[in-house]
Amino acid sequence: MLRLTAAVLLTIAGTLWGWSRAAGLDRRLVICREAEMLLQSCDYLIRSRADDVYAICRELKRGSGFGSLSFISQLPDAFIPGHAFSDDWRNAVSGQDDMPPELSGLLIRFGSALGTSDITGQLSAIAVFSEELSHMTAGSEEDRRRLGRLYRTVGILTGMMAGIIVI
Strands (E), 23-142: none
- Return the pLDDT at 124: 94
pTM confidence score: 0.85
pLDDT tens string, the chain, 167 residues long: the values are 888 888 889 899 999 999 999 999 999 999 999 999 999 999 999 999 988 899 999 999 988 788 899 999 999 988 888 889 999 999 999 999 989 999 999 999 999 999 888 999 999 999 999 999 999 999 999 999 999 999 999 999 998 998 888 87
User: How many Å apart are CA 52 and CA 98, to the nearest integer?
Assistant: 28
- Return the pLDDT at 49: 92
Domains: count for the chain: 1
Q: In whole angstroms, how far apart are CA 166 and each of 70, 73, 155?
A: 43, 49, 17
Owning domain of residue 151: 2-35+44-166
